[in-house]
């Protein structure tokens, strides 16, 4: 094939402003035996074509000084150059590109990004049809309106047919690539889901297995403290308290990890959930944390939503628990729940407090596992609660986000599907 192309004296002029793209295209074509010259833009390509008439012009569409459409228009308007086939290299992302190609009387499209076989197939197609194109140079003119704009098409019938065929071929090529990418993505997603399931299972097993020996440690430390409280020095008693506190923290962490793992593994049981009643239950469960505190609660009527009641209660417990915790320095502490405008057919619920807040530049860390924005000696916690909230809301098809400022409190938003009777 390469020697045949050399014998036929086929010369291809490339108009491409990217040196890398131009060199790659030149290499592919020269490998097939074509003589290739390169111009850095449309204007330079036009000058080179007038000095040495090429067999084919392959032009990028987007270039400085003169783009591919302008170059094709100039070539086709020149009596000496008008029979040169012009191939435009384009992303073909807009139907308007086809109209522009017809207007400038281009002969073919090559879709970006292209592979070697596709590119050479387009070039060969144009070469085979160029003699037929010369005999079909019957001028025609038609005015069309597309997207409210008038376009005057003067290309001949074969030119239009070839251009539309190349457009159709490009669409098929893109669909094949999309299908291949989709299949690869499905395989990767399946692998990722399998890995996640393994990690969830591992996390659950480890957390569950750690719980039993930890109970023994906590139990024996408590018994030891009780039996030796009058016999040990204050320093020894302090050591035991450190051990006891560490055991309790480890227990909290394991419990939170188990809850986080269960949230991802548990089957969803969706039903109509009275959000107002659920919030009241969650507040009641916080009695120990709120006892002796001066807290002002503002809980208006909340809607009925569709969701898993147990999971939603867990999410509310985490968010309201955080509001109680981070308003500890405030008296009175103010905690409010309510509904904002709808988003995509979903109701937006918020939890707002006047607590210590946080810097929004760290907001992306909020919902990560083990991520904390405050020191452990300031506010206790495992750094899993909000990650669990995000997982629960995501499983309900919603999203969760926050707004805050240091010292000015925080507002957490989440979206849920409203009950049909409430929407």
Domains and CATH numbers, the chain: 2-155 (3.40.50.2300), 186-265 (1.10.287.130), 269-423 (3.30.565.10)
Query: Is the pLDDT score of 102 beyond 70?
Result: yes
Mean pLDDT calculated for residue range 18-35: 92
Query: Is the pLDDT score of 143 beyond 50?
Result: no
Q: What is the pLDDT of residues 117-131, one digit of tens each?
A: 878 888 887 887 765
Query: Is the pLDDT score of 158 beyond 90?
Result: no
Query: CA 62, CA 68: separation in Å to the nearest integer?
Result: 6
Query: Is the pLDDT score of 350 beyond 90?
Result: yes
In this prediction, residue 374 has a pLDDT band, given cuts at 50, 70 and 90, of: low
Mean pLDDT calculated for residue range 259-277: 81
Rg of the Cα atoms in the chain: 35
In this prediction, residue 70 has a pLDDT band, given cuts at 50, 70 and 90, of: very high
Chain centre distance of CA 46: 43
* Max avg pLDDT among 58-72, 151-165, 173-187, 408-422: 58-72
Query: CA 132, CA 239: separation in Å to the nearest integer?
Result: 96
Q: How many CB atoms are located within 10 Å of the residue 227 CB?
A: 10
Query: Is the pLDDT score of 382 beyond 80?
Result: no
Taking the alpha carbons of 71, 72, 78, 81 in that order, is the dihedral positive or negative?
positive
In this prediction, residue 214 has a pLDDT band, given cuts at 50, 70 and 90, of: confident
DSSP H or E segment with residue 43: helix 42-51
**Per-residue confidence (pLDDT) for residue 54, from 0 to 100:** 95
Sequence-separated (6 or more) residues with CB below 8 Å from residue 85: 55, 56, 57, 107, 108, 126, 127, 129, 130, 133
Query: Is the pLDDT score of 155 beyond 60?
Result: no
Query: Is the pLDDT score of 166 beyond 80?
Result: no
Query: Is the pLDDT score of 414 beyond 90?
Result: yes
Query: CA 110, CA 117: separation in Å to the nearest integer?
Result: 12
Query: Is the pLDDT score of 3 beyond 70?
Result: no
Closest CA to 268 of 394, 172, 408: 394
Q: What is the pLDDT of residues 79-94, one digit of tens each?
A: 999 889 999 888 766 6
Render 141-157 in DSSP notation, one character per residue: -EEEEETTEEEEE---H
In this prediction, residue 172 has a pLDDT band, given cuts at 50, 70 and 90, of: low
């Amino acid at each position: 094939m390469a020697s045949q192309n050399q014998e036929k004296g086929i010369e291809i002029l490339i108009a491409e402003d990217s040196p890398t793209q131009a060199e790659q295209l030149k290499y592919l074509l020269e490998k097939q035996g074509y003589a290739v010259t390169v111009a850095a833009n449309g204007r330079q390509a036009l000058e080179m074509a007038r000095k040495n008439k090429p067999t084919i012009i392959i032009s990028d569409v987007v270039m400085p000084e003169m783009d591919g459409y302008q170059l094709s228009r100039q070539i086709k308007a020149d009596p000496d150059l008008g029979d040169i086939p012009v191939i435009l290299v384009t992303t073909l992302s807009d139907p308007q590109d086809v109209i522009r190609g017809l207007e400038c009387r281009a002969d073919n499209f090559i879709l970006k990004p292209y592979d070697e076989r596709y590119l050479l197939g387009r070039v060969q197609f144009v070469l085979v049809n160029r003699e037929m194109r010369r005999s079909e140079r019957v001028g025609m003119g038609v005015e069309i309106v597309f997207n409210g704009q008038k376009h005057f098409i003067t290309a001949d019938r074969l030119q239009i047919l070839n251009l539309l065929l190349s457009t159709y071929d490009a669409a098929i090529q893109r669909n094949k690539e999309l299908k291949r990418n989709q299949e690869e993505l499905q395989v990767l997603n399946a692998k990722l889901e399998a890995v996640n399931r393994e990690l969830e299972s591992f996390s659950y097993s480890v957390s569950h297995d750690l719980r039993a020996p930890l109970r023994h440690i906590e139990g024996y430390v408590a018994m030891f403290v009780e039996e030796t409280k009058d016999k040990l020095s204050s320093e020894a008693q302090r050591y035991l308290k450190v051990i006891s506190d560490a055991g309790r923290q480890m227990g909290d962490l394991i419990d939170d990890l188990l809850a986080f793992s269960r949230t991802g593994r548990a089957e969803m049981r969706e039903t109509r959930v009275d959000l107002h009643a659920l919030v009241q239950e969650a507040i009641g469960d916080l009695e120990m944390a709120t006892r002796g505190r001066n807290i002002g609660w503002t809980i208006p009527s909340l809607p009925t939503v569709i969701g898993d009641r147990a999971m939603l209660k867990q999410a509310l417990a985490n968010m309201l628990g955080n509001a109680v915790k981070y308003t500890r320095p405030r008296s009175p502490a103010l905690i409010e729940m309510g509904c904002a405008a709808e988003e995509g057919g979903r109701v937006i619920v918020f939890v707002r407090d006047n607590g210590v807040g946080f810097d929004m530049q760290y907001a992306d860390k909020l919902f990560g596992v083990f991520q904390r924005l405050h020191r452990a000696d300031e506010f206790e916690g495992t750094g899993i609660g909000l990650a669990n909230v995000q997982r629960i809301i995501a499983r309900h098809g919603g999203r969760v986000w926050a707004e805050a400022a240091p010292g000015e409190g925080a507002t957490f938003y989440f979206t849920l599907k409203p009950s049909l009777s409430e929407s």
